[in-house]
Structure 1
Amino acid sequence: MLDDRAKLLLKALVERYIADGQPVGSRTLSKASGLELSPATIRNVMADLEDLGLIVSPHTSAGRVPTARGYRLFVDTMLTVQRNQLVAPELAPEQPQKVIANAAQLLSNLSQFVGVVMAPRRTSVFRHIEFLRLSERRLLVIIVSPEGDVQNRVIFTDVDYAPDQLVEAANVLNAHYAGLAMEQVRERLKTEVERLRGEVAALMQAAVSVGSEALSQAQDEVVISGERNLLSVSDFAGDMHNLRRAFDLFEQKTQLLRLLDVSSQAEGVRIFIGGESQVVPFEDLSVVSAPYEVDGQVVGTLGVIGPTRMPYDRMIEIVDITSKLVTNALSHRR
């Protein structure tokens, strides 16, 4: 447990380091904290904070910088967020994919770091299917999800279907199977195929196969915007190794998905500080995230990824407001 004086000095040190990016010495800390303390007293408190693993002294400087543990204590107990200071543009209630892309860009623009949004989770249910003949034995299958997402897939067929056969197959699927998961449709087609003409049944089964693949691929997609912003962050500019690791994280997306999935299980804004867990294994990266909803149900997560030395109060406000904007945009279009 820290006494009030130690807490105030730690808070001042973290805030000064976030603002300047330079190790904080005792003289600077004395001015920043506003406390009437001698340099020797401040040095003693800093030594105690260092013993507790909350700050560390880079070998090239006499000043101190926060550790992941120090940031965590600051974020959990000392951070005050000024609400309603941020003006953010509304997100228009468009197709979900467009809303998600716009949200990632908005997060990036407002934060000047990296914006990430996990697309809404869906079941592989279709609302509508159409067939379009592209050429002989080559068809475009157009699949519309209940959320309004449109997936297009090209299939190659054994026979050249006539226009009336394409219409018949689409009509049967839309009339009898819309609203069901593709797996259910596939099972029902196996038992009901006798009452359908052979060619049409084969076409419907092919459509269900590519439809299931298309809708499952659309799930758990992570949209990322603003990766290049990290190039201008001083914490990364001179460290190509850390930059490469960060860009690998964005490219692979698997770890990002795991992180965002964890975030979706909690209410409100969550902060993951680099190095304190396996969720964010990079010392110099932090993630501020929040879930968003559609009609009262959590369906995805969004957030900002940036340097550990980020203005957390502003990032919390940006993420919180963007999650509300996405919730409104996706809920209002239904």
Structure 2
Amino acid sequence: MSYDPIINDRAQSLLKTLIERYIQDGQPVGSRALSRESGMKLSPATVRNVMADLEDLGLVKAPHTSAGRVPTVRGYRLFVDNLLTVRPLRGNVVERFRDELHRLDDPEELIDRASNLLSSMTRMAGLVMLPRAGSVQLKHIEFLPLSGDRVLVILVINDQQVQNRVIHTDRAYTQSELQQAANYLNSEFAGRELDSIRARVLQHMEEIRDDMKQIMQLAVQLADEVVQTSQTADYVVHGETNLMSYTEMADMERLRQLFEALKTKQDILHILDKSIHAEGMQIFIGEESGYDAFGECSVVTSPYRVQDQVVGVLGVIGPTRMAYDRVIPVVDVTAKLLGSLLTSE
């Protein structure tokens, strides 16, 4: 995701000034304004030359309606990675966050309030993924044949928790075949986490007799369905309508796509899933998210931990010209406080 072209200190300073000015008022920035605000006593002609170089590098662009320039996704990325100065939140603000969240005993209310707090503090959309369940270990498994190429799966997981699932198979299996599969899984995988079963079965597929391979494919199908169900995550979101106040996001079709993506949840859950498996804070700018609906947005996320285990992600969705220096510490502090309070719960 990182983009790090080599530009000199003067160009970096002008790019930083341009982006900060654009974040502030949302208008293309002209050479005269940059010359005046950069503090480097450069002529507008010199600034125009530097801007032309930055445009060639794909860091800024000139909208058709203006002689001024605006940052591109690449420009924002260089700014966020190399030029941004993030100031920590003042102590009294952190205490206000803590007070807002500390009064709640119910974990669901706590998560809802955290989402609301992110939204109200940034004037953007705040979202919090619900905590994922911890590891799921297989204790025992049984298969029973049903009519219509269906199989009843009886799972004993973790501390003797019993779950029944019905899965659809490519063909009918006899009780003997299903017993073979159950015996294999119980002998090989009892005590292992469910999400490791599929990989292990595929790894051993070459060693398995041909007459057992269909049974093992059933085991792979089972592992997929069980893991998908146990890992289903959801999130709470507040403040979507805040996004309507930003001029660059006021296009109704674009807003409709964004709200639809938030409603159906699939795309944003994929983005959050990338974040939960990454180290620390993640920032997806515009097209970096990989989803058209978020093409004009940035998503700033941070994982939160319960008992030192990452169980979820929270963050803010806003326009690409968001005030990153202000949003980043809000997301960071909220993640730390939420994790701390959920741990104490």
TM-score scaled by structure 2?
0.69
More helix by share: 2
For 1:110-121, what aligned pairs fall within 5 Å after superposition?
Answer: 110-121=121-132
| Residue matched to 2:286 | 274
| Residue matched to 1:25 | 30
| Residue matched to 2:39 | 34
* TM superposition shift of 1:269: 1.5
Q: Which letter maps to 1:89?
A: F
Match of 1:247 among 259, 269, 294: 259
For 1:1-334, what aligned pairs fall within 5 Å after superposition?
Answer: 1-85=6-90, 86-87=93-94, 88-90=96-98, 91-92=101-102, 94-122=105-133, 179-183=159-163, 219-237=232-250, 239-278=251-290, 282-333=294-345
* TM superposition shift of 1:65: 0.2
Contact 1:123–1:181 (CA under 8 A) maintained in structure 2? no
Measured against aligned partners, the alpha-carbon deviations of 1:168-202 in whole angstroms (never above 9, x if no partner) come to xxxxxxxx99943333899xxxxxxxxxxxxxxxx
Q: Which letter maps to 2:14?
A: L
* TM superposition shift of 1:122: 1.0
CA RMSD in angstroms, aligned pairs only: 2.6
Which deviates the most, 95-104 or 304-313?
A: 95-104
* TM superposition shift of 1:72: 0.3
Count of residues in correspondence between the two structures: 255
Q: Which letter maps to 1:312?
A: Y
Measured against aligned partners, the alpha-carbon deviations of 1:17-74 in whole angstroms (never above 9, x if no partner) come to 0001000000111122111111111000000000000000000000000000000000
Q: Which letter maps to 2:304?
A: Y
Identity of aligned residues (%): 52
Q: Which letter maps to 1:119?
A: L
Cα gap change, 1:320/1:56 in structure 2, threshold over 3 Å: closer, same or farther?
same
| Distance of 1:298 and 1:42 partners within structure 2 | 46
Contact 2:80–2:324 (CA under 8 A) maintained in structure 1? yes
TM-score scaled by structure 1?
0.71
| Distance of 1:286 and 1:121 partners within structure 2 | 24
